[in-house]
Amino acid sequence: MAGIKITDLEALSVAESADYLCIVDVSDTSQSPAGTTKKIELGNVATSGTWTPTLNAAEDACSNPQLINAKYSRVGNIVTCTIYGTIDLDFTSFTSGFFKFTFPFTPSTYNAIGACGIRGTNGQVNTYIRDNTINFESFTTYGFSGATFTAIFQYEID
């Protein structure tokens, strides 16, 4: 293929995650001071899909977290996730509660951060995501079964 321009090659209509892309690694100057031409799998650049996180360790005001679905997209080493599910909340004895979840890719550190919205609670619950934990807080005394939540967060992988 020497002497053939990339622009003269046949176009690929759909790329698979195992397909290769051409890339210049500027940190490797063994071929040229400008960098070394290498290959990289498309799946290591960008990918998306679904995963089944384990929802566990519900404590204090939270119980019975149930998964409806979970999706992710990965671009380079940044992963963006959405978890949609239901949870039972009982703030009669506690002002907060939480549950833990598993990631689709192993994080470089447990420093995920994001937001969580919840329906069916009249806006009385504050939510946030830190590390691998979804947190719920309320200073109103009440209980609610089957509240739906959507958690959106990002984290870094190696």
CATH number at residue 111: 2.60.90
Q: Is the pLDDT of residue 9 over 70?
A: yes
Q: For the chain, how many structural domains are there in total?
A: 2
69 and 28 fall within a common domain: no
Question: Rounded to an integer, what distance in angstroms lies between the CA atom of residue 99 and that of residue 61?
Answer: 10
Own/partner pairs for 123-126, CB < 8 Å, 24+ apart?
125/89
| 34 domain-assigned | yes
Give mean pLDDT, residues 16-37: 91
Give the pTM: 0.78
Local confidence band at 121 (pLDDT 50, 70, 90 cut-offs): low
Residue 34 and residue 90 in one domain: no
Domain extent for 17: 10-44
For residue 144, CA distances in Å to 85, 91, 98, 123 come to: 14, 9, 15, 12
Min mean pLDDT across 47-51, 109-113, 134-138 is at 109-113
Would residue 3 count as lying in a domain? Answer: no
Query: Does 55 share its domain with 129?
Result: yes
d(Cα 97, Cα 56) in Å, to the nearest integer? Answer: 12
Give me the mean pLDDT over the 98-124 stretch. 86
